[in-house]
């Protein structure tokens, strides 16, 4: 009698194990399916990103002027003074001279050439702009004082 009980119990155990492993199988299958879906989604998203990058690269190649205009504007100068158009032009000239000291550029207000001293560039008559000094030192962003 006792043997029978044990047999039944072990049969039950085996059945439970089988059932739970089958359930685990179903769970795994669902997991596998969602993994597959996620993987497909990932490929899809990578594909989209790749296409977008390709489009950007094409645009940059085909229309370089677009890339230039999209670039952020560089700082014209340091200092908190507000400046007029002529002074901005003067600063712009100083920027150009920082790139090439051999350029023949005159201050737009005084019409005089810039004072170049090594790596320093000065507006010849900053007081005509209403400032004490307009200059760039050591190739740094121009300053107004
Ligand atoms: Zn000037």
Question: Is residue 98 within 8 Å of 139, Cβ to Cβ?
Answer: yes
Spell out the residues 6+ positions from residue 76 whose beta carbon is closer than 8 angstroms to its own: 88, 91, 92, 95, 142
* Biggest CA-to-CA distance, the chain: 120
pLDDT at 91 over 80: yes
- Give the Å distance between the CA of 108 and the centre of ligand 1: 6
- Where is pLDDT greater, at 9 or 25? 9
* Conformational region of residue 125, where left means phi above 0, alpha means psi within -120 to 50, and beta covers everything else: beta
What does the pLDDT read at residue 110? Answer: 95
pLDDT at 3 over 70: no
pLDDT at 60 over 90: no
- Give the Å distance between the CA of 74 and the centre of ligand 1: 20
Strands (E), 4-142: 115-117, 120-122, 134-136
What does the pLDDT read at residue 106? Answer: 96
Q: Against a cut of 0.75, is the pTM above it?
A: no
What does the pLDDT read at residue 50? Answer: 92
pLDDT at 80 over 60: yes
Token digits of residue 27:
């769970």
What does the pLDDT read at residue 77? Answer: 72
């Amino acid at each position: 009698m006792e043997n029978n009980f044990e047999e039944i119990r072990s049969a039950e155990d085996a059945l439970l194990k089988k059932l739970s492993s089958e359930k685990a199988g179903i769970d795994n299958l669902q997991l596998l399916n969602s993994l597959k879906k996620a993987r497909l989604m990932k490929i899809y998203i990578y594909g989209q990103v790749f296409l977008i990058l390709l489009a950007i690269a094409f645009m940059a190649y085909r229309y370089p002027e677009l890339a230039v205009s999209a670039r952020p504007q560089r700082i014209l100068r340091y200092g908190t003074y507000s400046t007029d158009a002529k002074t901005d032009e003067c600063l712009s000239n100083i920027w150009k001279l920082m790139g090439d000291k051999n350029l023949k550029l005159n201050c737009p207000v005084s019409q005089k050439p810039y004072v170049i001293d090594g790596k320093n560039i000065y507006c010849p008559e900053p007081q005509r702009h209403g400032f004490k000094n307009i200059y760039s030192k050591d190739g740094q962003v121009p300053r107004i004082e």
